[in-house]
């Protein structure tokens, strides 16, 4: 990989890391970039997932004010998303991705509408069975396909907890990171990871993940939730057009 490509992937990683932690759309930037750099689709997908682990690390470091007092809750829900991420990674390695490609636009659109709707009731917080099932299902998607998976997780957490968008966003970043971490471990062992592309992309993700929370906490009121919802709907339309056009 030439120097220009290394710096290109580093820049892509920084941009995608910021976007990931603010509006949960890292893969919409990084995955097409990896394809543009010549990686095959499966290799680009697993390479992207491995690099995304560093977004979670950067986001955790940059979100310490929002994560204060939430360590126990994250630990109790983290095993759910880690198990879901492992399940999604296993499915990716043994099944075609066409089914998820067709379902993904509908999932993202519904999650975006859920974010846009003012929250009313809560799914019994972290102890609600429905909330845990939804988190597990979203984590499967994150490990398998991942595009806008953070928006799905943000929507589920919004339905579970009555907290500020910034605190929910910080929790989302860590829980998504755990799902990516377990999936990445499986891909590192059994998937076609392009390590030359992973290194600069991961470095960019780490920087962008650290910068993103500083931006997110400055978005006023429910603006972060509405911004994520708007971006999610746009992505749902784009993925739907791409998936159903062929």
pLDDT in tens, 208-229: 999 988 888 887 767 777 777 7
| pLDDT at residue 21, as a whole number | 83
DSSP class of residue 126? G
Indicate the average pLDDT of the chain: 83
* Mean pLDDT along residues 137-159: 83
CA dihedral 50, 181, 191, 209 (to 10 degrees): -10
* pLDDT for 119 beyond 70: no
pLDDT digits (tens, 9 = 90+) for 81-106: 999 999 988 888 887 666 667 777 88
Provide mean pLDDT across the span 75-85: 92
Answer whether residue 243 shows pLDDT above 80: no
Cα–Cα nearest to 183, from 149, 140, 151: 140
Q: How many residues does the chain have?
A: 246
Q: How far apart are CA 94 and CA 153, in angstroms?
A: 24
pTM for this one?
0.79
**Domain segments of the chain as ranges:** 3-244
How many CB atoms lie under 10 A from the CB of residue 195? Answer: 10
Nearest residue to 175 (alpha-carbon basis) of 126, 135, 232: 135
Q: Rounded CA gap, 208 and 80, in Å? A: 26
Q: What is the pLDDT of residues 150-188, one digit of tens each?
A: 888 888 888 888 888 888 889 998 998 899 899 889 888
* Per-residue pLDDT tens over the stretch 3-12: 778 888 999 8
Q: Is the pLDDT of residue 124 over 60?
A: no
Confidence at residue 169, expressed as pLDDT on a 0 to 100 scale? 87
Write down the pLDDT at residue 127: 63
Residue with the two structure tokens 């780490």: 206
Q: What's the pLDDT at 246?
A: 64
């Amino acid at each position: 990989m030439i120097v220009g490509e290394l710096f290109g992937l580093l820049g892509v990683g920084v941009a995608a890391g910021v976007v990931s932690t603010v509006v949960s759309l890292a893969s919409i930037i990084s995955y097409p970039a990896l394809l543009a750099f010549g990686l095959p689709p499966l290799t680009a997908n697993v390479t992207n997932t491995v690099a995304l682990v560093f977004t979670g690390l950067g986001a955790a470091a940059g979100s310490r004010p929002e994560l204060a007092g939430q360590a126990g809750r994250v630990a109790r829900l983290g095993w759910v998303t880690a198990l879901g991420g492992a399940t999604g990674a296993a499915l990716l390695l043994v099944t075609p991705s066409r089914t998820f490609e067709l379902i993904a636009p509908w999932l993202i659109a519904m999650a975006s509408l859920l974010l846009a709707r003012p929250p009313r009731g809560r799914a019994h917080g972290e102890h609600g069975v429905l909330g845990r099932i939804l988190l597990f299902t979203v984590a499967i998607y994150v490990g398998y396909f991942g595009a806008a998976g953070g928006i799905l997780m943000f929507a589920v957490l919004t339905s579970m907890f009555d907290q500020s968008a910034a605190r929910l966003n910080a929790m989302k970043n860590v829980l998504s990171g755990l799902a990516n971490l377990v999936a990445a471990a499986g891909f590192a062992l059994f998937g076609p990871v392009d390590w030359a592309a992973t290194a600069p992309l991961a470095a960019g993700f780490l920087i962008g993940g650290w910068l993103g929370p500083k931006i997110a906490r400055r978005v006023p009121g429910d603006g972060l939730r509405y911004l994520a919802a708007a971006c999610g709907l746009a992505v749902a339309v784009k993925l739907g057009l791409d998936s159903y056009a062929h």
